[in-house]
Amino acid sequence: MGSQENRTLHTVRLGRTEYRWCLEVQRRAFALRSAGSIPDVLLLTEHDPVFTIGRSGNPDHVLAGDAERLDQGIDLVSVERGGDVTYHGPGQLVGYPILDLHGFQPDLHRYLRDLEETVIRVLGRFSVRAERHPSYTGVWAGGDKICAIGIHTSRWITMHGFALNVCADLQPFGRIIPCGIFEQSVTSMENLLGCRVPLEEVTGACIEEFALVFRVSAKEVGAGAFLESLHGLAPTSGRAGDAAAAFFEPRDTLTCTGNP
């Protein structure tokens, strides 16, 4: 995709994060990238359980009521990305590219296809044959959706991104209409392969394939250094507050924990 070779992309492994806190990290990074204060960055994480609703989403597509969600420990957040309802949770690799597309190609259709291509290549490295759907954005494998994609852009700066089911618990998807597609079923790498794939291995493959597709040089940046560059943004309450110290150090290993 890139029109400029030798462009550098900073990649940050945040580990497991609470969604609302990570959303604020995204928004801060988005604002700073818009101002030209930080370079292009790819944030990689897995989230505590949450349903998110995009700006064109239908709240009725969340089938679980408030009491059920609270009992299951699943948050509900409305966000500025495109698309409808989806689920994020442990065992799912979520990538948030914060890019200035002026340095690549200012073409949203091309950008979405390149995100799909990145995921398709990652899955291929683990012997999962994946493909695009002729009618919907995202990636499918074995006839089911394995990766959701939803983005937000303003003045060609991007945020939000993709969510790849590695070894995620798929049951919460049954309590929503994923992406508003009534006939859609979802799957995971674990489900297709019959074995658990370490999330850290998939994260590493994702960094490598993203760099190849977007024609950039990937430079890993520790979570601590990155968050300091966001002027001291740090979690202060709830689960994120309890785990704050972990977010300020790069993680050498990150294992898939399956169900929360």
What does the pLDDT look like over 64-111, one tens digit per residue?
999 999 999 999 999 999 888 999 999 999 999 999 999 999 999 999
Question: For residues 118 and 214, what is the distance between their CA atoms, to the nearest angstrom?
Answer: 9
What does pTM read for this prediction? 0.86
* Residue 133 pLDDT > 70: yes
Backbone angles phi, psi at 89, to 5 degrees: -165, 175
21-63 confidence digits (pLDDT tens): 999 999 999 999 999 999 999 999 999 999 999 988 888 888 8
Any catalytic annotation for residue 179?
Answer: yes
Q: 150 is written with which tokens? A: 């939803």
Among residues 22, 147, 167, 179, the one annotated as catalytic is: 179
* Residue 250 pLDDT > 60: no
Question: For residues 129 and 149, what is the distance between their CA atoms, to the nearest angstrom?
Answer: 18
What CATH superfamily is the domain 7-247? Bira Bifunctional Protein; Domain 2 (3.30.930.10)
b/e for 41-72, b at 16 or more Cβ within 10 A? Answer: bbbbbbbbbbbbbbeebeeebbebeeeebeee
* Residue 242 pLDDT > 80: no
Q: Are 200 and 255 in contact (CB under 8 A)?
A: yes
H or E element in which residue 22 lies = helix 19-34
Mean pLDDT of 146-158: 96
The confidence score (pLDDT) of residue 58 equals: 85
* Residue 255 pLDDT > 60: no
b/e for 207-231, b at 16 or more Cβ within 10 A? Answer: bbbbbebbbbebeebebeebbebbe
The confidence score (pLDDT) of residue 3 equals: 47
Determine the Cα angle at 125 with ends 161 and 196, to 5°.
85
Q: Where are the domains of the chain?
A: 7-247
Mean pLDDT of 144-168: 97
